[in-house]
Structure 1
Amino acid sequence: MHPVKLKENENKRPRIVYILTVFAQFSLINQGYDMGASSGAILLAKDIDYLRLTKVWKQLIMAGPMISAIVFSLIGALLSDQYGRKKGLLMASSFYVLGYIVTGSAFNRETLFIGRLLIGCGIGIASANTAVYVAECSPSNLRGRLIGVSQPFLTIGILIGIFISVLFSYDLNNGWRYTWGLGAVPALIQFIAMLFLPESPRWFIQKFRRDDATESLMRIRNSKYVEEELKEIEDNFKEVQESIKKSGGGGGGGGGRMKLFIRMLKTSTVRRALMVGCGLHMFAQFSGVNTVIYYSGIIIQMSGIGNVTNALWNSVIINCVNLLFAIIGVWLVDKVGRRKLSIIGLFGLFISSLCLATTFLMADRYSPWANTTDLVLNDSCSTYRQCGECIRNADCGFCYEDTPDVIGGDCLRVSATSNLVSEQGACNSSLTLSKYSMIWAYDYCPVSFTWIAVVGLALFLMFYAPGMGTLPWTINAEIYPLWARSIGNGMACMTCWTCTLITTSSFLSFIELIRTSVYQRKVDLSTKMGYIHCNPDLIFRDIKTTRVPMH
């Protein structure tokens, strides 16, 4: 696409360009709010009796938006072409408002899941319209920067969502409702603002509505002298149409798009570009970033910070780092270069992932001892020797005294009426918990090195935000020829949501599978090698136990 020349208005930066960018990017704030708020709301909702959120249902609730986002990212592209970018964003914000209202007022897990699906519809439609609307309304000298602020806006939304969840974490009964329900506020603000903003002049040109395009462009540029830029837009549109006709993909129907897609696969350079674009999104999402954000509260709690409010405050700190480096990333892309930034980012993700893995290995190996001498509690829970073994059983929890250094405690059966207390023993009611300064942990173990997990999460997002957070979107916007740009970006977007769905919907099950496997086999090969690196005496202990007797 040729750059548009703005002779008279080149140095003028009409405020409306920034205003429409901000309110269009509210779609990213809405999406980010869902990610951040969900990480806290799920911690509060998982103990609500009438929701009955099992491990599978937790994953479904968290992954729900991704299911509908995959479908509606494609539908959103069709709606954008047919009805305009502005109407697409209005529709997206409507889905957001409806989804957050249904989610916040849910009376069972099925209703909660429906609300999450509606939020996903908004995410999908917005992903197909936001960047296109901003790009088509921005002057060429500002276009790259205005599109590039999407990652900071997403991170701002995440931070707001987590902060709101912290504020309502003290309300154990309805905090999750307020956290999710308040997501309707930014979506409603976007809907109202978009009513007063102009439609994309390029979309008017595509629909052969030149007068409307002129009026829209005059308003966006705050000038009557837009004829030269309008002529440039028309020339670009004709160039795209000619490229499509040459490809044999004429027409706007599904058949035309299928012909274009087949041509993309047959053209070696475009096929490689498609592999790079979709591959970048695949690696970015399989790095686990969305599980880190969606499940940040649960991950921090699993590392040993049992108090929900404390876990969420740590999540706020981590996402402040995320926001800082998302802003730095906008500046680094052009200064450092795409390839170098990708390599640095991926290496950093590798190091921070090792840091997180080390925390959980240490938490499993050095978890407090469980008392096995109490003959009164003669059931399966009383047979476990460590906290880590105890909490692997969903029917058991760990009861310990609230002291700075926890050495041991009791493995007790979870109450049949509530996960928040034990069936019997010192943690069998909120009264005994407070009277004897006892803590009931049914899904985590208290350890002294939880700070390593917090540092690991901060490092993870620090390396992700400026690298793999922005580069897949930036590179996909640059590598396709004009005739393949729309379908190429659509395929890359669908890859992104599909990979996000896979990681988000399987995270808790995958963690449980690893824990169970390690517990059943005691120590697998990779864990054992890690122990050898940290504990050379392990080698000699193994040698001693396998030594052949001399007599």
Structure 2
Amino acid sequence: MPAGGFSASSGMDFEAKITPMVITSCVTAATGGLMFGYDIGISGGVTAMEDFQREFFPTVLRKRRENKGSNYCRYNNQVLQLFTSSLYLAGLVSTLFASYTTRRLGRRATMRIAGGFFIVGVVFNGAARNLGMLIVGRILLGCGVGFANQAIPLFLSEVAPTTIRGGLNTLFQLNITIGILFASLVNYGTNNIHPWGWRLSLSLAGFPAMLLTLGALFMVDTPNSLIERGHLVEGKVVLKKIRGTNNVESEFNEIVEASRIAHDVKHPFCSLLQRRNRPLLTITVMLQMFQQLTGINAIMFYAPVLLTTLGFKTEASLYTTVITGAVNVLSTLVSMYTVDRVGRRMLLLDASMQMFLSLVAMAVVMRTKVTDRSDVIDHNWAIMVVIIICNFVSSFSWSWGPLGWLIPSETFPLETRSAGQSICVCTNLLFTFVIAQVFLSMLCHLKSFIFVFFSVCVAIMSLFVLFFLPETKNIPIEKMVERVWKQHWFWKRFMNEGCNNHAISGEGTPSTVSLYS
């Protein structure tokens, strides 16, 4: 089945077919998203289980049972928050090392390293006898996340034909949402297995970890990675296999030239600080920051805890989390269909309004219906809370979730691709760590106003999109300077004629990759 690939750098059409090797390789690599999503979804449900609290956090369980103090402060425990946030701090640090291994050892080797971290981390968590083992396990899982998030998107981008690159890249984001849903279903089932149900929840993370690890043993590395590391003959052989044709000379020559240009940039992180790259760096950092300040991960991490605070019973809170997980998956499919049709800005602005209204509504419900001492929320209001949360999760999943990663990936050229992606991942994981570490404390002190805080952040990020984010839909990378940055009312001042536009436009380079496109 032919699928003509379009080179974003030269405008040439490359002959390519959608081969079984491409599909199987991309599907296998994307299973790393299952592991990441499972890590995101499992922690909130486990921390809400009484057996888990009895084992590691008895003071939290005692506070719940004695019903002393504010409902909002029942889970305000820094070590409990560290159980969730330690994974993302480890991912933040390991990403810097993963940038090196991805470049020097290849995409496939980096995925193997990620799989190894995942498996060892699962063993520590499932067999944890004390809090130290538990935290060490989460840190090892975080290292796996850092290495996987660095290598998998590059692998997907470089293996897939350009005509279906967006769809195959989105497999990673889709797998993340499926992993979250899978974790929610597991928590719902293991909650009734006493006293070791939480161990089963943590141990089942080994299933997606094994899928990634075994898959990485058998898949080929990308032609780009092989050529970049000097294996030109092997790279050309692999390119012929994944494209399903011997007519790969043009694409092969372009990859060789792109690799030469990339090797000439000795300090890509320093290059990002140059004046001409400030628009790219600013938008990347701001989008990643705003993505977390929507409050989405506070809900994804602590949904069962939050719902228990609102008066839900533990089983009902876990069941509701399953519903929001299913909404998350379906809404990601909506993003796959609409992003190249209606544009990035429109999706972000529409979703921002929807998220803003949801957050305000949640603040009103908590202010009027949840008191410091209330134990049960009225049935009708409980349904309203579920609808509000699903509406919020849905709007995020078809907008800021994937687009927060897609838009930066459309701007960085090859010579700063690895550095730019590291900045993306590091910024995202930094703010993910901060939100995971402080959310329960914020809930205790701010109470209902925590959602007012998030709604203000959403309003600010909407203004940022409206005034400072240009539309990048259907614009080749080599045309970004002329058609985007030089036309923007603010960013054009950084695009001086004397700047090396070749470096920023990405001429002579293949288009870059989305982490959660």
Q: State the TM-score, normalized to the length of structure 2.
A: 0.78
SS in 2 for 1:142: helix
SS in 1 for 2:49: helix
Partner of 2:422: 490
For 1:349 and 1:510, locate their aligned partners in 2 and report how far apart those are by CA, in whole Å. 20
For 2:23 and 2:170, locate their aligned partners in 1 and report how far apart those are by CA, in whole Å. 13
Alpha-carbon deviation of 1:167? 1.3
Alpha-carbon deviation of 1:190? 1.5
| More RCO (CA 8 Å, sep 6+) | 2
User: Is 1:349 the equivalent of 2:355?
Assistant: yes
SS in 1 for 2:54: coil
For 1:517 and 1:272, locate their aligned partners in 2 and report how far apart those are by CA, in whole Å. 33
CA contact (8 A) 2:57 2:80 kept: no
Partner of 1:32: 37
Partner of 2:437: 505
* Counterpart mapping for 1:238-317 below 5 A: 238-242=260-264, 244=265, 250=266, 257=267, 260-267=268-275, 269-306=276-313, 308-317=314-323
Alpha-carbon deviation of 1:447? 3.4
SS in 1 for 2:273: helix
User: Is 1:447 the equivalent of 2:378?
Assistant: yes
CA contact (8 A) 2:101 2:110 kept: yes
User: Is 1:83 the equivalent of 2:105?
Assistant: yes
Structure with greater Cα Rg: 1
SS in 2 for 1:469: helix
1:332 corresponds to which letter in structure 2? T
User: Is 1:23 the equivalent of 2:28?
Assistant: yes
2:328 corresponds to which letter in structure 1? N
Alpha-carbon deviation of 1:446? 4.0
CA 1:159/1:516 → structure 2, altered by over 3 Å: closer, same or farther?
A: closer
2:170 corresponds to which letter in structure 1? G
CA contact (8 A) 1:4 1:140 kept: no
For 1:106 and 1:447, locate their aligned partners in 2 and report how far apart those are by CA, in whole Å. 38
Alpha-carbon deviation of 1:358? 1.8
CA 1:230/1:45 → structure 2, altered by over 3 Å: closer, same or farther?
A: farther
Partner of 2:389: 457
Alpha-carbon deviation of 1:467? 0.7
Alpha-carbon deviation of 1:359? 2.1
CA 1:110/1:363 → structure 2, altered by over 3 Å: closer, same or farther?
A: farther
For 1:328 and 1:516, locate their aligned partners in 2 and report how far apart those are by CA, in whole Å. 31
Alpha-carbon deviation of 1:273? 1.4
Alpha-carbon deviation of 1:516? 11
Per-residue displacement from partner, 1:447-468 (whole Å, max 9, x unpaired)? 3412222111101111101110
* Counterpart mapping for 1:158-169 below 5 A: 158-169=180-191
User: Is 1:51 the equivalent of 2:56?
Assistant: yes
Bigger shift: 219-228 or 180-189?
A: 219-228
Alpha-carbon deviation of 1:515? 4.0
User: Is 1:321 the equivalent of 2:310?
Assistant: no
Alpha-carbon deviation of 1:343? 0.9
Alpha-carbon deviation of 1:485? 2.6
Question: Which structure's residues are more often helix, by fraction?
Answer: 2
SS in 1 for 2:195: coil
* Counterpart mapping for 1:67-466 below 5 A: 67-242=89-264, 244=265, 250=266, 257=267, 260-267=268-275, 269-306=276-313, 308-365=314-371, 388-389=372-373, 444-448=375-379, 449-466=381-398
Alpha-carbon deviation of 1:57? 1.9
2:378 corresponds to which letter in structure 1? V
Alpha-carbon deviation of 1:517? 10
Per-residue displacement from partner, 1:411-444 (whole Å, max 9, x unpaired)? xxxxxxxxxxxxxxxxxxxxxxxxxxxxxxxxx4
Alpha-carbon deviation of 1:222? 3.6
For 1:276 and 1:102, locate their aligned partners in 2 and report how far apart those are by CA, in whole Å. 38
Q: Percent of pairs identical after alignment?
A: 25
Bigger shift: 196-205 or 507-516?
A: 507-516
For 2:190 and 2:277, locate their aligned partners in 1 and report how far apart those are by CA, in whole Å. 49
For 2:57 and 2:120, locate their aligned partners in 1 and report how far apart those are by CA, in whole Å. 23
For 1:340 and 1:476, locate their aligned partners in 2 and report how far apart those are by CA, in whole Å. 17
Alpha-carbon deviation of 1:87? 0.6
Q: Which runs of 5+ in 2 are unaligned?
A: 1-7, 61-76, 456-517
1:450 corresponds to which letter in structure 2? A
For 1:133 and 1:122, locate their aligned partners in 2 and report how far apart those are by CA, in whole Å. 16
User: Is 1:469 the equivalent of 2:477?
Assistant: no
SS in 1 for 2:48: helix
For 1:352 and 1:2, locate their aligned partners in 2 and report how far apart those are by CA, in whole Å. 42
Alpha-carbon deviation of 1:51? 1.3
Alpha-carbon deviation of 1:492? 1.9
Partner of 2:458: none
CA contact (8 A) 2:44 2:300 kept: yes
1:206 corresponds to which letter in structure 2? E
Alpha-carbon deviation of 1:142? 2.0
For 1:499 and 1:154, locate their aligned partners in 2 and report how far apart those are by CA, in whole Å. 18
For 2:449 and 2:310, locate their aligned partners in 1 and report how far apart those are by CA, in whole Å. 19
2:394 corresponds to which letter in structure 1? M
CA contact (8 A) 1:356 1:453 kept: yes
